[in-house]
Amino acid sequence: MADRLRSGDFSLCDVASCAQSHWSEIEEVISSVAGEEESERIRERIRVLAEVKGRCSPDSEDLSILSLMVETFLGGLGLSSIDRDVAARLEELSSYFAENNVLTEGRARLWRRVVTEVKERLSKGLAVFDGGGAAPLLAVEADDLPWALGYVWPLFVEQVRGKGVDSVVNEALSAIHAGRGVELAGPPGTGKLALMYQILVDLSKDGFALYAGQLDAAGVLHGKKVVFTPGGYTVVPAGWSGGVTRVDVEGRLTLGELEEVARRLASWDGVSLSDRDLSELARLSMGRPAFVELALAYVSLCRLKGLSCELPRSIEEAKAKLREITPREVLDKLAIPASLGFRCFPSPLIEPDESEEAFVDRLLLRYDALSLYSWRSGVSREVFRRIALSPPNVHESVFASESPFHAAWSTVMGAKGAARYIALTALDMVPDEASFQALEAVAVLSPGTLSKLLKDATAFRLEVLARFAESAGSLAVAEELVSKAVGILSSLEAEELRGEREALSLKLAELQVSRLLPELALKTLSGIKPLDEEAEYSIARLQGIAYLNLGQYDEAEKSILEAMKYASSKGLKQDHYYLRILLADAMVGKGRIDAAREKLDEVVKELTREDCGLAGLLYEAAIRQKQLKGKLNYAVCAALTRCGYPDLAGAYGCFS
């Protein structure tokens, strides 16, 4: 398209020719904007216009279609492919479409914004803009730990808990409560990852919010929050400034705990051992659970082959025997995932045939729900490791997976260099939802990678991609893209772009709130100079939510009340109800339970009589009312059922 725009004999029908040539690349975008039926009609008109010879004289309907094609080009515009001649042609087209009443007011504003940005960046030598990235953190629940940490055994076997485990967990929790980080230390096979899992579970039970990602990012967090390294042995508290307590785990598990580990793993492996053998296995382990796991895997394969095998006497012997009994073709296939540095990997990375499946299912843990395999332990992974570097094209298995996010998470953790290749492949697949799922893992684990690949993108293109990402639930991707767009517009002095910069900054804060990063949202909001009352309202509303999340209830109440005034004056019914529910939350946080109960009674009573479009808010208010009063409100059940929301009625407890 840029070459056509640069041409001295350019005509509008050139736009149609270009669109026809690249229809496969833009079809999904056009369909998402205009709908599938209208997209087919547009395609036919494009075909007719592309075949015009000589003078091109499109009518008003054709002009509207051609303007949409140019806008699609703008959505994928990279400044490295254009110059001032192309920018001038875009400005001419903007004026021409506006004069012919093709553009709505909003679209005309969009054209002016893009043209202004392009001209400003070219004049300032900012065609390429570095910067932009999401916070390298992902809020997770305790149930997410198996894939986030890379320790999936709890999905198959109940974890052993005794005096030895308790001593490690309690020592770690004491350090966290004292504001220090915790690093588990010990030789390979001593159960560090299993112990880290138990530490994180206990922290979650103790009210700490869990975040996976880069430890340094913990410094910006506040309150009861911790950050852990995926696949690692370190966890640090919010506000962490570098202090770490080393907890040596070698020899901490008791013989009784190790015997129970052996008993549970043997049961899962289908290996029948006497109590004497289980005790012997615990004794031979020398305090290393990985020996128990390796020995049982070896015995399991022996039984599979119909052999009678003796228990190995050491961890080195267990590794050698396991390697010896594994068929050569299975050894070859497992060498690839063994070269990666994370326990989990996408299941499409290996494709065992029917004769190999039984061996693979004993050597690996298969997590079908997320299309992942996992090594039984870090030591067992080393048994099959034969190459020092990650294999080429390992990223391709991400997009063959039924769960691209989890596949990308494990692949990036296992091979850091794969992040760029995953991002490149995903960008070619946009707007396919799988592309944004994969990019979400890249945005968290390799921040800035996506921004570097889009270094010449316009703020408009970044905003378009961010909208797709947000609709796909990929909020870290959206944050990275919007933060880059804000950085671009902040570097330009054009007054025409000030409103767009403000709107994008508000969107950035909204995304940070949604990602449970209220500290970052408040920082973003503090840098916005609102242009009008609507912006002031948006700032107050987001501040109220952020302060609530941080437990700063006085500030939350003040901001919410300020936002409520605007919502009430402008007749923003849905927003006003939502803010009143948040106000009740702030009251509860301040200990004003009676006032909160009274507020919720008012809101619920009104919402049961409102239209069904507010049923979601009714549920949110009613759940809080139920928690404070300890009983159901049957008017809520009637309203939710009447509105056709049996799922919400069930969640509320109407059918209990």
Coil, helix or strand at residue 190: coil
Examine the domain organization and report whether 341 and 412 are in the same domain. yes
Look up residue 115 and give its two tokens: 């043209």
Examine the domain organization and report whether 452 and 382 are in the same domain. no
Examine the domain organization and report whether 104 and 192 are in the same domain. no
Question: What pLDDT is recorded for position 614?
Answer: 96
A 10 A CB-CB count for 219 gives 14
Cα-flanking dihedrals φ and ψ of residue 376, to 5°? Answer: -65, -30
Of the residues 79, 99, 123, the one at which a domain ends: 123
Asked whether residue 644 is assigned to any structural domain, the reply reads yes
Helices (H), 100-162: 105-123, 145
Look up residue 578 and give its two tokens: 């939502």
Q: For residue 656, what are the β-bridge partners?
A: none
Q: Is 306 exposed, middle or buried (0-12, 13-18, 19+ CB in 10 A)?
A: exposed
Question: What pLDDT is recorded for position 408?
Answer: 97
Question: What pLDDT is recorded for position 98?
Answer: 85
Look up residue 267 and give its two tokens: 């049961």
Element (H, E) at 375: strand 372-375
Q: How many helices (H) and strands (E) does the chain have?
A: 33, 9
Q: What distance lies between CA 29 and its chain's CA centroid?
A: 23
The C-alpha atoms of residue 480 and residue 447 are separated, in whole angstroms, by 8
Examine the domain organization and report whether 79 and 150 are in the same domain. no
Examine the domain organization and report whether 96 and 188 are in the same domain. no
Cα-flanking dihedrals φ and ψ of residue 353, to 5°? Answer: -80, 180
Q: Would you say 311 and 284 are in contact if contact means Cβ atoms under 8 Å apart?
A: yes
Look up residue 633 and give its two tokens: 């409100």
Count of domains observed in the chain: 4
Asked whether residue 27 is assigned to any structural domain, the reply reads yes
Asked whether residue 264 is assigned to any structural domain, the reply reads no
The C-alpha atoms of residue 565 and residue 633 are separated, in whole angstroms, by 29
Q: Would you say 447 and 484 are in contact if contact means Cβ atoms under 8 Å apart?
A: no
Question: What pLDDT is recorded for position 50?
Answer: 85
Asked whether residue 262 is assigned to any structural domain, the reply reads no
Examine the domain organization and report whether 148 and 219 are in the same domain. yes
Asked whether residue 396 is assigned to any structural domain, the reply reads yes
Question: What pLDDT is recorded for position 391?
Answer: 59
Examine the domain organization and report whether 496 and 620 are in the same domain. yes
Ranges under pLDDT 70 in the chain: 1-4, 7-9, 387-392
Examine the domain organization and report whether 113 and 90 are in the same domain. yes
Look up the pTM and report it.
0.91
Of the residues 215, 232, 253, the one at which a domain ends: 253
Asked whether residue 172 is assigned to any structural domain, the reply reads yes
Examine the domain organization and report whether 184 and 103 are in the same domain. no
Asked whether residue 311 is assigned to any structural domain, the reply reads no
Question: What pLDDT is recorded for position 34?
Answer: 80
The C-alpha atoms of residue 393 and residue 179 are separated, in whole angstroms, by 42
State the maximum Cα–Cα separation within the chain, in Å, rounded to a whole number.
Answer: 94
For residue 149, what is the DSSP state?
A: I
Distances (CA, A) of 294 to 192, 232, 262: 16, 21, 11
Question: What pLDDT is recorded for position 92?
Answer: 86
Examine the domain organization and report whether 109 and 153 are in the same domain. no
Asked whether residue 236 is assigned to any structural domain, the reply reads yes
Query: If phi over 0 gives left and psi between -120 and 50 gives alpha, with beta otherwise, what is residue 81?
Result: alpha
Distances (CA, A) of 210 to 170, 226, 230, 374: 18, 5, 12, 22
Q: Which of 195, 50, 203 is nearest to 140 (CA)?
A: 203
Range of the domain at 66: 2-123
Q: What distance lies between CA 179 and its chain's CA centroid?
A: 27
Examine the domain organization and report whether 435 and 568 are in the same domain. no
The C-alpha atoms of residue 261 and residue 161 are separated, in whole angstroms, by 10
Distances (CA, A) of 187 to 195, 210, 249, 324: 14, 26, 9, 24
Which amino acid, residue 85?
A: D
The C-alpha atoms of residue 482 and residue 445 are separated, in whole angstroms, by 18
Examine the domain organization and report whether 628 and 536 are in the same domain. yes
Of the residues 445, 478, 504, the one at which a domain ends: 445
Q: What is the CA radius of gyration of the chain?
A: 29
